[in-house]
Amino acid sequence: MSIARKKWLITGASGQLGREWSLALQQDGEDVTSCSRKELDVTDDGQLEDAVGGSRPDVIINCAAYTRVDQAEVDTNQAEAINVHAVKQLARMCAKNRILLVHYSTDYVFPGLPEHRSLLPEGYPESFPPDPVNAYGRTKWLGEQEIRKSNCEHLIIRTSWLCGKHGGNFVQTMLRLARERDHLKVVNDQYGCPTFTGPAVHHSRTLIDSQKRGTIHLASQGVTTWFDFACRIFELKGMDVRLDPVPTSGFPTLAARPKWSRLDIRQLARVTGTRILPWQEELERYLRE
């Protein structure tokens, strides 16, 4: 599924989501320019101008992001440069050249208060007022606002707990740690849901083709904790690993973490007209691939 006769530009093409996008479009024979971080420094306005002017895309898929959550607390300037300033410049160019900007944001724009688990059992809807609890979330929220202020044609897609075949993520970290030791402790009081990059790209393309604009949430169906997520990983892999559930306080970090991180994906199901698969089923497919 694709937009006919369109030219695509992908930023952050070496990351989990960017590589998934690049491979999907290349396999379909699309006209795509994929720029990794080494090939395009999105914080350099001149490089951005050259990349957009040189490829003359109809659609920009912005997968470039500063995602080191804890490091963002001390490296805030760099996080802002990538997540805010670069996004502002991209949006400005998209508005000027009538380019559709597809931008990925995060569940971390929301406060994730424990009481929201009972107040919002289906997760945060797109309309819920963001109120990030850490620097990473704040920079992603500011980036979203720059897009809206630019008046460019855009689609902002918020995801959570991203897991792809390319690059590091929770699944790969758990499998690596299990090979190094036979006893692991995993946080059991942070709730959310994984987003797998293969389905994320598929759903994103359906949203683009359906002319969806504005903001939408994208994740798998269901809810879990990091601990239960880990349990399921090892169960599916047939690995005998001793797992202990621990509270967030057992793993002190520089950045605060939301306790309730589920995204309400009912709009996604309505717009795409497809059944969103449970995270357990998506995980099984992911591990097979």
CA dist., res. 177 & res. 21, Å (int): 28
Q: Does some domain include residue 250?
A: no
H or E element that contains 258: none
264 and 121 in contact (C-beta within 8 Å)?
A: no
Q: Does some domain include residue 175?
A: no
What is the pTM for the complete model shown?
Answer: 0.96
Q: What is the pLDDT of residue 1?
A: 39
Question: Residue 263, class by beta-carbon neighbours within 10 Å (0-12 exposed, 13-18 middle, 19+ buried)?
Answer: buried
Which residues are the active-site residues? 136
Q: How many CA atoms lie within 13 A of 11 on its CB side?
A: 30
Coil, helix or strand for 103?
strand
Q: How many domains does the chain have?
A: 1
Q: Taken in order 98, 100, 104, 108, is the CA torsion positive or negative?
A: positive
- Give the chain's largest Cα–Cα span: 56
CA dist., res. 132 & res. 261, Å (int): 11
Domain with residue 20: its CATH number is 3.40.50.720
Q: Does some domain include residue 204?
A: yes
CA dist., res. 40 & res. 55, Å (int): 13
C-alpha distances (whole Å) from 83 to each of 25, 72, 89, 139, 197 are: 24, 11, 11, 6, 20
Counting as low any pLDDT under 70, the low residues of the chain are: 1-5
Q: Does some domain include residue 282?
A: no
Q: Does some domain include residue 289?
A: no
CA dist., res. 106 & res. 112, Å (int): 12
Q: What is the pLDDT of residue 8?
A: 98
φ and ψ of 189, to 5 deg: -125, 20
CA dist., res. 113 & res. 132, Å (int): 10
- Token pair 């090939």 is at which residue? 39
Q: Does some domain include residue 72?
A: yes
Q: Does some domain include residue 201?
A: yes
Q: Whole domain around residue 11: which residue ranges?
A: 7-169+194-220+263-273
Q: Does some domain include residue 240?
A: no
Structure tokens at 66: 């500063």
Coil, helix or strand for 187?
strand
